[in-house]
Chains A and B, each alone.
Chain A
Amino acid sequence: MTALHWATISPLLLAILIPFLYKYLRKIHTGWFVLALPLILFIYFIRFLPSTSAGNVIEHTVPWVPSLGIHFTVFIDGLSLLFALLITGIGALVVLYSIYYLSKKTERLNNFYVYLLMFMAAMLGVVLSDNLIVLYTFWELTSLASSLLISYWYHRKKSIYGAQKSMMVTVFGGFAMLGGFTLLYVMTGTFSIREIIGSLDLVTTNSLFLPAMLLILLGAFTKSAQFPFHIWLPDAMEAPTPVSAYLHSATMVKAGIYLVARFTPVFGGSQEWFWLLSGFGIVTLLWGSLSAIRQKDLKSILAFSTISQLGLIMCLLGLGSASLYYGYGTDTTMYTTATLAAIFHLINHATFKGSLFMTAGIIDHETGTRDIRKLGGLMTIMPVTFTISLIGTASMAGLPPFNGFLSKEMFFTGVLNASQLEIFNMQTVGMLFPVLAWVASIFTFLYCMILFFKTFTGKFKKENYDKPVHEAPLGMLISPIVLGSLVVIFGLFPNLLAYTLIEPAMNAILPTVLGPGEQFYVHIYHWHGFNTELFMTIGVVVLGTLLFLLMRKWAKLSIYLHERDPLNRVYDGTLILLSSSSHRVTSSFMKGSIRQYLIYIFSFMVLFLGYMLFKLNAVTLSGVESAPIVFHEAALAVVMCISAVTVVLARTRLTAIIGLGAVGYSLALFFVLFRAPDLALTQMVIETVSTVLFLLCFYHLPMFKAKFEKIPFRFTNLIVSLGVGILVTVLAISSHHSKSFESLASFFVNSSYDEAGGKNMVNVILVDFRGFDTLFEILVLAIAAIGIYSMVKLRLEKGES
């Protein structure tokens, strides 16, 4: 275990202490104890920056299940460091924010911080693991922690619904991903991502390439809320706002992005990867931005906005993967721009979306509502929140001088470049990308305006709020202020990040594009001349403003009034259908009638054994000579048959019991004929005893139900019993005629007197050669007796237990 391993699991270790800190130090808010850890981790991870920006990687391995090739390998390159910094940095800010957001008097803080730390460790594990199985373990831990956090207020029905939904969707994807990982292992024989990338030719030529890619993408898409799996994210907004800010904007939803980026060297360069990523990305972008407009709740707007921005990043990662098709040597800057934009927007999105969620939380906390129809006129009352929101929304809308502007310009460059691509059939449909991206940007601009103006401008109506509205305390404002200033700093000095964070991350995503000793050229600047991108931005601003001004006209449309995503109906319907149809299936054969279950058992036996007999060609009538049948054997058999038929056709039960007794005594006679005196003796006595017991039962039948009727005839029963009878007969005859081995009997005949000193071979076998069986048979008898005794004697009266 190196320091890096301890750093990865340190949140879990701290989580163990949280309940004690909460219980014994009630006066101090538990969050303060938590706050130190992400801060320390952040500083710890920052120290890796020089080494990764020089192009080095750090790798440490601790064996976990070495026999299966599962090692806890921690691996740091540009990409994982970027994510680790996001997780710890925003984690620290979120913890600070939550200290002021959650009251220490009314909330169960121990639960909250345990879940949050669990999540933090899981997330660090996901981004730092090199081993696929370890990655998967942490991946599922994020799903679990996320569901726990969403259902933090578990007495609310909606929280439980949201938690369950997110669990279902993400775990579904997680399982698919595990399948994809297994396929990768099958192809390459290793779970290590680095080794898989090292043996790429094994993967790309394999027929399992496409299934593995689809399964892994399913995991990434469900986690990152891509269309149509995005439905869980808006319902996850029932979580406390710090959770939404942390999990559902900055970190967990980016786990899918991380996975896609991490696997781009493996799958990138293929047509399917390119189309799936960019196609689903752009659809998600458009769908998310369109749905965000329809929302009336601040956090729902932000949730759909997150979905749409994640789609944007996913689309860019897809477009950027085209450069792997060309590989080293060609002028690939044109294609790598998309990857650059993806990473830059990833950072930007984490900063502005985190701050926006926090301001939404402040507004909720201070006014008691998040409904934009009630809010309004908060500009002068909450000046700080107003300023941060302004920065955040402007950046999200893509206005200069904030960082969102830069990443959106690069996004436009990326899609415009992509439309010029001459591979993967882009010539025909390539133009769709810039058009769709542009339309989505207009919607983005529109919902940013709605979000901002509906909250802060207009008239302040006091009657809309339950409590006196005022600015939030300073502690709650620190985190959004920090994030807001980062938005401005990254906007004004984007090249701060260029070679420290972005270039190493690009290097990790597109390792084969560079020659030895080369670096990506990263230069981000505000003014890039009068080009298509700028005109597109101007168009976005103009059209977005127009749409906002004309809002009254289209606000009556039903598409605006119904805010639930129509895909929820599919999800809910599927769940209901699943449970109702499984109930229907179960109740169609689990009727609770023993007769039916017996029919199932017997039919299965007949069909299965019959099929096997037929298939293996096992029915035979030759091979061993049968003994001649003498007259009294045949006569006895006839008697036995008549008694058996009497039992079945008997009109009264008494006849049936007597008939059964006759069968038993005939059997004893058969034992006599076939020279088994011990069996004959036992059979006689046992038959007598059981007939007596049957008569006893008969005598005690309740009178009011005991109609002396024939057994009702049922055709199914006849068929099934005929089947069983014929099958068993055929089986017995066939097996008798196909004896492959000498029987053991000669051993017993020869040695029962010499070795065991007994002339009665049956008895010697029972008590000596195979006495162990007898021991347990007498135990069975004893248990039966005790059972009858306790059933008869121990009768509980009503209310007794």
Chain B
Amino acid sequence: MRPNDVILKTATQLVTFIIIIFSIYVFLAGHHNPGGGFIGGLMTAAAFVLIGIAFDIKTIKRILPFDFKILTATGLLIAVLTGIGSFVFDSPFLSHTYDYFYLPLLGKTELATALLFDIGVYFVVIGVTLTIIYTIGEDN
């Protein structure tokens, strides 16, 4: 019989979203403030780990019904493609550029190709962490 952990579960349901939003903030702020793909990815993964602790692995599988190994591969692919993309503009591998745009709602915003690379890092870190935790967690 499972212990009654309704407080934990309820808290998790609330806190998870805060963690995820914070991690996305850290990730997006990385270019100008402390943060970035690596730490953002770790935090997002931590949010899912929390779900795993409060509920169980089956629950996470239901919420996120995809393979984290594929997420890792996708991240790597994005990072490599960012690098290859600079060939199109006749520049060396992994040359980045940035510019400022006026976006609706956000106003003047800086968009950098380095962010694309950071998305790759973000995905890889989430994929790797969750793969490791779940592989070990599922093992008997």
Contact = CB atoms under 8 A, between A and B. Distances in A.
Interface in B74-128: 75-76, 79-80, 83, 93-94, 96, 98, 110, 112, 114, 117-118, 120-121, 124-125, 127-128
Interface stretch (A303-311, A384-392, A766-774): A766-774
Contacts of A688: 46
Interface stretch (B10-18, B56-64, B132-140): B132-140
B120 A778 contact: yes
| Chain B interface helix/strand/loop/mixed | helix
Contact of B96 (A768, A775, A781, A785): A768
Interface string A668-712: 000000000110011001101100010010000000000000000
Given A682-B38, A778-B76, A760 B33 contact: yes
Q: With a 10 A CB-CB cut-off, give which of B93, B120, B124, B129 has the most chain A CB atoms.
A: B124
Contacts of A768: 96, 114
Interface stretch (A101-109, A228-236, A787-795): A787-795
B124 A767 contact: no
A165 B33 CA distance: 75
Q: Which of A685, A688, A757, A759 has most chain B Cβ within 10 Å?
A: A757
Interface residues of A, number: 36
Contacts of B96: 756, 767-768, 771
A764 interface: yes
Contacts of B75: 778, 782
Contacts of A693: 132, 136
A763 interface: yes
B39, B73, B93 interface centre (most CB from chain A within 10 Å)? B39
Contact of B43 (A685, A696, A759, A781): A685
A793 B31 CA distance: 38
Given A756-B98, A778-B125, A781-B125, A789 B131 contact: yes
A784 B132 CA distance: 9
Contacts, number: 123
B2 interface: no
Given A685-B43, A685-B46, A763 B93 contact: no
A686 B42 contact: yes
A758 B131 contact: no
A764 B31 contact: yes
Contacts of A696: 136
A785 B126 CA distance: 11
B83 A678 contact: no
A793 B26 CA distance: 34
A62 interface: no
Contacts of B118: 763, 767
A767 B125 contact: no
A772 B124 CA distance: 15
B9 to A, nearest CB: 20
Given A757-B31, A768-B114, A775-B83, A682 B42 contact: yes
Nearest to A759: B32
B78 to A, nearest CB: 10
Contacts of A788: 131-132, 135-136
Nearest to B124: A778
A786 interface: yes
B114 A677 contact: no
A779 interface: yes
B36 A678 contact: yes
Nearest to A681: B39
Given A758-B32, A760-B30, A775 B46 contact: no
A681 B129 contact: no
A782 B128 contact: yes
B129 to A, nearest CB: 7
A763 B35 contact: yes
A775 B128 CA distance: 14
A576 to B, nearest CB: 52
Contact of B114 (A681, A771, A782): A771
A623 to B, nearest CB: 33
Nearest to B73: A782
B39 A772 contact: no
Contacts of B39: 678, 681-682, 685
A767 B37 CA distance: 9
Contacts of A758: 31-32, 98, 112, 114
A763 B31 contact: yes
A757 B34 CA distance: 15
Nearest to B123: A778
Interface string A177-191: 000000000000000
B76 A779 contact: yes
Given A771-B117, A775-B83, A792-B135, A785 B69 contact: yes
A689 B124 contact: no
A760 B33 CA distance: 5
A681 B35 contact: yes
B46 A782 contact: no
B125 A756 contact: no
Contacts of A766: 36, 38
Contacts of A763: 30-31, 35-36, 118
Nearest to B116: A767
Contact of B139 (A756, A762, A782, A792): A792
Given A678-B39, A771-B83, A789-B69, A760 B34 contact: yes
B135 A778 contact: no
Contacts of B73: 782
Contacts of B83: 771-772, 775
B125 A757 contact: no
B83 to A, nearest CB: 7
Nearest to B31: A758
Given A771-B83, A792-B139, A781 B112 contact: no
B36 A784 contact: no
Contacts of A757: 31, 98, 110, 112
Given A681-B35, A758-B114, A775 B69 contact: no
A785 B79 contact: no
B117 to A, nearest CB: 5
A782 B35 contact: no
B98 A678 contact: no
A110 B70 CA distance: 58
Nearest to B83: A775
Given A778-B124, A781-B124, A756 B114 contact: yes
A767 B76 contact: no
Contacts of A767: 36-37, 96, 114, 117-118, 121
A758 B30 CA distance: 9
A784 B127 CA distance: 11
Nearest to A758: B31
14 contacts: A677-B34, A681-B35, A682-B38, A760-B31, A764-B114, A768-B96, A771-B94, A771-B114, A781-B125, A782-B75, A784-B132, A785-B72, A785-B128, A785-B132
Which 8 pairs from chain A and chain B are nearest by CB?
A: A757-B98, A677-B34, A759-B32, A785-B128, A778-B124, A758-B31, A785-B131, A685-B42
Given A685-B46, A781-B72, 18 more contacts: A678-B35, A678-B36, A682-B42, A685-B42, A756-B112, A757-B98, A757-B112, A763-B35, A763-B118, A767-B36, A775-B80, A778-B76, A782-B75, A784-B128, A788-B132, A788-B135, A789-B131, A792-B136
Interface of B: 26, 30-39, 42-43, 46, 69, 72-73, 75-76, 79-80, 83, 93-94, 96, 98, 110, 112, 114, 117-118, 120-121, 124-125, 127-129, 131-132, 135-136, 139
